[in-house]
Amino acid sequence: MTELRTVGLFALTALAEIAGCYLPYLWLREGKSIWLLIPSALSLVAFVWLLSLHPTAAGRVYAAYGGVYICIAILWLWTVNGIRPTMWDIVGSIVALLGMAIIMFAPRGA
């Protein structure tokens, strides 16, 4: 799997997970419709399926995915919640992405 495809797949996975968790939040904290739980459940099913598409060990995928999740969550903060990221949010996201890249793309012995 190419590096760009891996990162893109992680990004889609993160969007599915965040949406799947954000919709119940809207129901529980913002008083929105309970019917949001249906697309939430579908989104979380998509999250699990997308996470399973990576061709490497699950533990490595979960560890590396966290780095991309952090970046997507910060983008969500900005685009959905309307809160502009701080310099530290951006620096932390870059560090997380570097960690993801080291975990996923480091040379491995046979």
Each residue's pLDDT tens digit, 68-95: 999 999 999 999 999 999 999 999 999 9
CA geometry: angle 67, 68, 69, nearest 5 deg = 90
- Check if the beta carbon of residue 51 is closer than 8 Å to that of residue 12: no
pLDDT tens digits along 11-64: 999 999 999 999 999 999 999 999 999 999 999 999 999 989 987 888 888 888
d(CA 54, CA 68): 14
Domain definitions of the chain by residue range: 3-105
